[in-house]
Structure 1
C-alpha cells in the first residue's frame, strides 16, 4: 500500500515500497504532488487517495519514471520502447536512432533528466558546428572499381554475396555514389585490393545548420514527452534556438530545361521515360512513384491515385508502407499525354510478362525488375543520375522533379492551395514555405500588371 505524508501547505509525498534489493536494502519509490489551494479538505483527501492508487499501479506495472533519478539516456531508452518504435515510420526511426547513438547520447546522455539545462544544449550545438564532428566518413569510388568488375567478369549479385554488401548498394557505388568506410573495406577485402586503389576518402567537415536543427528537434520531441509523462516540469529545449538555417531555393529544372529534358527522354527506355514523366507531371515523391500499381491508374477519367510508397532500409530490404501522412493519400488528375504514355508502357510490360512466362511474379506494380518483382526504390535515382551525366544536364536529383512540378504550376498561376493538394502537403503554408522563391515571380508579375494598368490610364489622360 502507498503511504501519504504532508510536506508543505499544498504538497504531499506518496511513497510505495517495492521490496528489497540484492543487498537487503529496502526499495522505495516516492512522488510529490501539489494540489490547488482552492480545494476543500474533502476534495484534497479524495485527490490524494486517487493519486496514491495511480502511483502504486504505475510502480507495480513498471511504468513509473522518476525524472529526478533518470538520466537523459535512460529516459530515451523508455521513449524508444514506448513511443518511437510504435509511432514513428521505419525510416524516421532509423534516422533518429542513428542521431541518438552517434552524437546525442554520447554528449548529453549521462546528464540527469531534471538537471538538463539550456546551456548543455547550446554547448552541444556549438560542438556540432566544429570541423571534424561528422562521423559518417565517406569514400568516393574511382573508375577503377567498374573496370575491375568488368575485367574479372563479376556480376553485382556475385560481389554482393561474397562481400555481404547489398546489391542495391553496389548499384549505387557503380553509378558514383559515396559509401561508408565499413562498406568500402568489405568490398576491398573481397576483391583483394587496397582501399586507395578503388576509393578516395572524402574530407570530413562540420554538420550543416539543417542537420543541427534536426538534432534539436529530436531532443525537443523527447523532452516534450518527458513533460507529458510528468518526469520534468518544462522542456529546456524550448528555451534554446538552434543555429539559423539559410533558406535556399529548392533544386529544380526551369521550364526551358524541363522541355529539353523531356525531349531527350524520347531516346531512352520506355520504362524510365514513363517514370520521369510521372514524376514531372504528378509531383509525386520517389517512393510514391516506385509504389504505384496499375489499380491506381484510372484511364477512363485520367486520374492517378497515390496511396502507398515503396521504401528500402538496410537489414529490412524493400517494403511497402503508407504515404508520408494522411494528406499524402490523394488523387491527381493527369494530362492525356501522360495517360497515353502509360497505355503504351502497359502494353510493353504485358509483352515482357509473356516473355518471362512462369518466372514473372505478378505484383501489379507499374515499375518492376525483369521478373515482375517491384523495383528497388533507389533505381529511378541511380538511372536519372546517369541520364543527367550523359546529357550534361544540371545536377537536379530525382526529388527535384517534384520541385520542378511545383515551380511550373506556381509559375503559370495555379493557386497555392491547389498545388499543395496535388503535392500532398498537409497545409498550404508548407507549400508557401518550401516554394517561397517560386511565389515571388507571380507576385512580381502581379505588381507589374498593376503598374502597367494605371500607367496606361495616366498616359491616356495626358494625351487627351
Structure 2
C-alpha cells in the first residue's frame, strides 16, 4: 500500500519494496506533480492512476530508481530505450565515442541521483590536465571538447529528469571552461564578402605545374616541361556552393540530393534526406527530426545554373557509357556515384585560397570560414534583412525557433538595434 504526502503543488509517493539483508525495509519514492490546467476531479483521478502504475512497477521489478542506478547503467538503458529513436546515427556515434572513452570511465560508477555539480566540475577540470589524452598528444582536451561532453551529459540527465529518475539536472549548475580563443559569433561571410565569393565562383584561375615525367600508353617514360593552365570552377561546384548559400542547406543534405528532389517548374528543392558517416561509412537516410524535412524556394538564376549543370551531367553520362555507376545523385564523382562528403570542403578552401591570391589588399580577401559557414551566412543575411525568426528557422530546418535564436543571437541583436534606429528616425523629432 502506497503512502502519499502532499508537498505544496506536488505529491511524494512511497511504496514498500520488501526488506534488505539486514531486515531493513526498502522504500521506493517518487514525486508526482498534477496538471494545473485540469479540474480537481481530473487531478485526483490522474494521481490515483499514477500511484497504481508506480506500485505495479515496484511490485514487478520494473521500477527504475535514480538512487540505485549508476550512470553507467542508465547509459545502457538510455541506449536501448531512447538514443537510436531520437538521435541521428552520426550524432549517436559521436555521443557513444565520447561516453565510452571519457565520460563513463570518470562518472559511470556514480549513482544517478547522487551526481552533483562538484563531480562534473572535477571531471571537466581533469580533462584540461596534461597527460589525460588517450591519443598521445600533449596537453589536455580543448574547451570545445569539454563543452561537447557537458552537452552530452546534460542531454542525458535532462531525459532522466523527464523519466522522473532524478529531480533536477546538475549540469544546469555547472559551467564548462571557456575557450578564450573562440568568439561567440558564428563564422560567416558579410554581405560584401558573399558577393565576392559568388564572383570567385565565376573567375578563372591559373595553376602552375612543375616539370615532371609521365608514362605513355606503351609504358614509355617522357619528360613534360613546367606549364601554366587556366581553369574555371566546374559547374557542379558552382551549383553546390550556390545552394549552400542561397538555401542554407547542410553539407549532408546537399550530398544526399537527387534530381527527383529538384522542381525546376516551381524553383523549389525538397529536402527529405541527409548523408553522414556511420562507422566510417557514408549512409543516406531520412532525418529523425521532422522539421529537417522541408521544401525551400531557390532564386531563379540559381535554378537556371542547376538546369545547365543537369544538361552537362546527362551529356557526360552518355559519353562514358557503361562506366557510369550513378544513382541519379545531383553531386557526383567521376563515375556518377554519390560525391564523397569530404570533397566539397577541400574545393571550398581551394577556391578561397585561389581567390585571395588574386587580391592585393588584405581587406579584399575572403576570411577562411568553414564550409558550414555558408549556411550561417544564409541565415545571418536573412536575419539582417529583417526576415522573421520563424521563417528563417523553418528554412534552416531547425526543430525550434529557440535554436535559431541561440545560434544567431549576435545577428538578432544587430537587427534589434536596427529596428530601434528605425523607430527613432520615424518618431523622434530631430532638433
**TM over 0.5: same fold?**
yes
Cα displacement (A) at 1:247? 5.4
CA distance 1:348–1:52, shift in 2 (3 Å): same
> Corresponding residue for 1:436?
409
The farther-off stretch of 346-355 and 127-136 is: 127-136
In the other structure, the counterpart of 2:199 is: 263
Alpha-carbon spacing, 1:107–1:293, altered in 2? closer, same or farther (3 Å):
same
Matched, 1:374 2:338: yes
- Structure 2 match to 1:357: 321
Looking at structure 2, the residues matched to 350 and 71 of structure 1 have their Cα atoms a distance apart, in angstroms, of 58
**CA deviation after TM superposition for structure 1 residue 337, in Å:** 0.6
CA distance in 2, matches of 1:262, 1:68: 58
Counterpart for residue 288 of structure 1: 253
In structure 2, what is the equivalent of residue 221 of structure 1? Answer: 155
Question: What is aligned with 1:55?
Answer: 58
Return the match for 1:249 from 165, 185, 192. Answer: 185
Separation of aligned partners in 1, 2:2 and 2:185? 61
- For the 8 Å contact 1:14–1:52, the answer to whether it is kept is no
Structure 1 residue 10: deviation in Å?
8.0
Q: In the TM superposition, what whole-angstrom CA distance separates every residue of 1:382-412 from its partner, at most 9, and x where no partner exists?
A: 2212222232342111111111112222333
- C-alpha displacement of 1:206: 3.7
Deviations 1:191-225 (A, max 9, x none): xxxxxxxxxxx7644421x4333322322333344
Closer, same or farther in 2 for the Cα pair 1:47/1:343, shift >3 Å? Answer: closer
CA contact (8 A) 2:2 2:55 kept: no
Answer yes or no: is the 8 Å Cα contact 1:270–1:345 preserved in 2: yes
CA contact (8 A) 2:250 2:375 kept: yes
- 1:334-359 Cα shifts (integer Å, max 9, x gaps): 11110110110000000111122233
> Aligned in 2, Cα 1:419/1:227: closer, same or farther, shift over 3 Å?
closer
SS of the residue aligned with 1:13? Answer: strand
1:97 shift after superposition: 0.9
Residue 190 of structure 1 aligns with which residue?
none
Question: Where does residue 13 of structure 1 map in the other structure?
Answer: 16
CA distance in 2, matches of 1:283, 1:48: 49
For structure 1, the 5+ residue unaligned runs are 18-24, 37-43, 138-201, 460-464
TM-score scaled by length of structure 2:
0.74
Displacement of 1:240 in angstroms is 3.6
Q: Equivalents in 2 of 1:326, 1:275: separation in Å?
A: 24
- The 1:73–1:257 alpha-carbon spacing in structure 2 relative to 1, beyond 3 Å, is same
Note the alpha carbon deviations across 1:290-324, whole angstroms, 9 max, x for none: 11111111111111111111112334x11112236
Does the CA contact (< 8 Å) of 2:253 and 2:275 recur in 1?
yes
Write the mapping of 1:36-435 to structure 2, written as runs, cut at 5 A: 53-57=56-60, 59=61, 63-65=62-64, 67-131=66-130, 133-136=132-135, 204-208=139-143, 210-229=144-163, 231-243=165-177, 248-266=184-202, 267-315=232-280, 317-323=281-287, 325-392=289-356, 393-435=366-408
Q: Distance in 2 between matches of 1:46 and 1:284?
A: 46
Partner Cα separation in structure 2 for residue 450 and residue 52 of structure 1: 61
Give the match for residue 28 of structure 2. Answer: 32
User: In the aligned structure 2, how far is the partner of 1:232 from the partner of 1:452?
Assistant: 53
Point out where structure 2 has 5 or more consecutive residues left out of the alignment.
6-11, 33-46, 203-231, 357-365
Contact 1:5 1:14 in 2 (8 A): no
1:391 match: secondary structure: helix
SS in 1 for 2:146: helix
Q: Decide which structure has greater helix share.
A: 1
Q: Measured at CA, do residues 239 and 257 of structure 1 come closer, stay the same or move farther in structure 2, by a change above 3 Å?
A: closer
Deviations 1:178-197 (A, max 9, x none): xxxxxxxxxxxxxxxxxxxx
Which residue pairs with 1:152 in the alignment? none
Change over 3 Å in CA distance of 1:107–1:277 after alignment to 2? same
Cα distance 1:47–1:89, how it changes in 2: closer, same or farther (>3 A)?
Answer: closer
Distance 1:31 1:350, change over 3 A: farther
Whole-angstrom distance in 2 between the partners of 1:47 and 1:432: 37
Give the Cα–Cα distance (whole angstroms) in 2 for the partners of residues 82 and 35 of structure 1. Answer: 22
The 1:109–1:338 alpha-carbon spacing in structure 2 relative to 1, beyond 3 Å, is same
Query: Residues of 2 paired with 1:45 and 1:374: CA distance?
Result: 57
Q: Which shifted more, 120-129 or 326-335? A: 120-129
Deviations 1:237-271 (A, max 9, x none): 44444446775211111222222221221221111
Q: CA RMSD in A?
A: 3.6
Give the superposition deviation at 1:422: 1.6
- Provide the rounded CA distance (Å) in 2 between the counterparts of 1:253 and 1:34: 52
